[in-house]
């Protein structure tokens, strides 16, 4: 069952920290024409929120950014808009002096045209406090963020960073790190869960970047992540997935019963569940063989006890079910729905034998 924020943060009707994760599309336009084009594409994809990465914009002055924000708001009149003028040391598109950044961010905050602002914890209190105060005075929520594009720091360092964000006045705490191995991705999820337990009223945005960490952007919500970035037209960070794929994988987990609901009464599985789950792009790259336990609703330990050949056979069985052409196999699969998990496991192994 997903650990939600109590209570969720609601912005323009969107729940940050509610039952479902927020998918945010970044806009990385260089000029107003590109910005409008990307915003229109994003809107058609129906994101939960949109981020304007203004550090990619050619004009870095307050007046220009306010006018661009006005135009952006005319296109995105319903979606929560995040304004980000990322510092170059944490992935910003270009170097911008701190005085200029302060002036630009403050001007946009005072315009009343945005809903959230993302600023980096590394700027320090002298830079952050005036911006946070201005944001809150104008009803803008603050995302304080930490990025490491080289590695994933220790759990203690990451939790200390989240604590500092909340102490400084963050409404949402964000962590993005680059993994060097799968263990780093798992540690990021451990940090996310620990932070949710320690700070149950603060929405979190955590991600492991790059292709190695891409699955954390869709599965992290099971550990307490509340917001993920997905691709509309252009990526803003490595490892972002197209929003349609990200949502499809989320829906796959929903149908598996691991997203929400009563953990004591897991839903039954049907053939249609098997087929629709398999069809979700990228699902298996995220879940691997362990995903078989979710799709077929069988004990994970039983799946892990199988040989690699037996696991591959089960995957081929599922592929055949997804194809939908084998009516006899479909009928045999439907008969499994009334069995216990253990009985279903034994029968599935038998059904998959011809695919070995």
Residue 56 and residue 185: Cα distance in Å, rounded? 28
Give me the helices (H) in the chain, please: 32-44, 62-75, 98-111, 125-137, 155-168, 182-198, 210-213, 216-219, 243-255, 271-279, 283-287, 291-295, 300-304, 308-323, 327-334, 341-352
Strands 81-84 and 116-120: parallel
* Reduced DSSP (H G I as helix, E B as strand, rest coil) percent helix, strand, coil of the chain, to 5: 55, 15, 30
Q: What are phi and psi of 340, to 5 degrees?
A: -70, 165
Edge-to-edge strand list for the sheet holding 204-208: 204-208, 172-177, 141-148, 116-120, 81-84, 49-53, 22-27, 227-231, 241-242
Site of tokens 């700070």: 199
Q: Could you say which of 174, 271, 275, 311 is catalytic?
A: 174
Q: Find, among 61, 65, 49, 44, the residue nearest to 174 by Cα.
A: 49
Cα separation, 277 vs 283, whole angstroms: 8
Six-digit token string for 277: 């789950």
Residue 279 and residue 270: Cα distance in Å, rounded? 15
CA dist., res. 147 & res. 89, Å (int): 9
* 147 assigned to active site: yes
Task: Please give the structure tokens belonging to residue 92.
Answer: 């910003």
Residue 264 a catalytic site member: no
Give the integer Cα–Cα distance in Å for 100 and 127.
12
User: CA-CA distance, 24 to 174, in Å (whole number)?
Assistant: 13
Among 147, 271, 311, 342, the one annotated catalytic: 147
Is 266:258 a contact under the CB 8 Å cutoff? no
Which residues are part of the catalytic machinery?
147, 174
């Amino acid at each position: 069952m997903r650990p939600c924020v109590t209570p969720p943060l609601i912005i323009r009707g969107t729940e940050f920290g509610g039952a479902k994760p927020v998918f945010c599309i970044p806009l990385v336009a260089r000029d107003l024409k590109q910005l409008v084009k990307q915003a229109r594409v994003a809107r058609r994809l129906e994101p939960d929120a949109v981020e304007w990465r203004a550090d990619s914009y050619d004009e870095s002055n307050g007046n220009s950014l306010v006018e661009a924000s006005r135009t952006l708001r005319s296109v995105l009149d319903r979606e929560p808009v995040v304004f980000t003028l990322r510092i170059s040391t944490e992935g910003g598109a270009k170097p911008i002096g701190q005085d200029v950044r302060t002036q630009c961010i403050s001007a946009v905050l005072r315009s009343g045209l945005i809903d959230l602002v993302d600023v980096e914890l590394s700027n320090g209190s002298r830079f952050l406090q005036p911006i946070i105060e201005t944001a809150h005075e104008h009803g803008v929520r603050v995302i304080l963020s930490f990025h490491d594009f080289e590695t994933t720091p220790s759990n203690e360092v990451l939790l200390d960073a989240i604590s500092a964000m909340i102490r400084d006045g963050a409404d949402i705490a964000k962590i993005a790190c680059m993994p060097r191995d799968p263990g780093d991705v798992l540690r990021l999820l451990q940090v996310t869960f620990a932070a949710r337990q320690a700070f149950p009223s603060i929405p979190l945005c955590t991600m492991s970047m790059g292709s190695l960490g891409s699955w954390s952007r869709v599965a992290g919500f099971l550990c307490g992540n509340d917001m993920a970035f997905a691709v509309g037209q252009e990526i803003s960070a490595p490892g972002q997935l197209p929003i349609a794929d990200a949502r499809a994988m989320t829906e796959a987990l929903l149908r598996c019963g691991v997203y929400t609901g009563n953990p004591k009464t897991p839903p039954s599985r049907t053939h249609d569940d098997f087929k629709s789950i398999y069809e979700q792009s990228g699902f298996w790259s995220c879940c691997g063989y362990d995903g078989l336990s979710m799709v077929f609703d069988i004990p994970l330990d039983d799946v892990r006890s199988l040989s690699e050949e037996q696991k591959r056979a089960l995957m081929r069985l599922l592929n055949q079910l997804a194809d939908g052409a084998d009516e006899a196999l479909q009928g045999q699969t439907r008969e499994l729905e009334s069995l216990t998990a253990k009985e279903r496991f034994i029968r599935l192994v038998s059904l998959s034998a011809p695919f070995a």
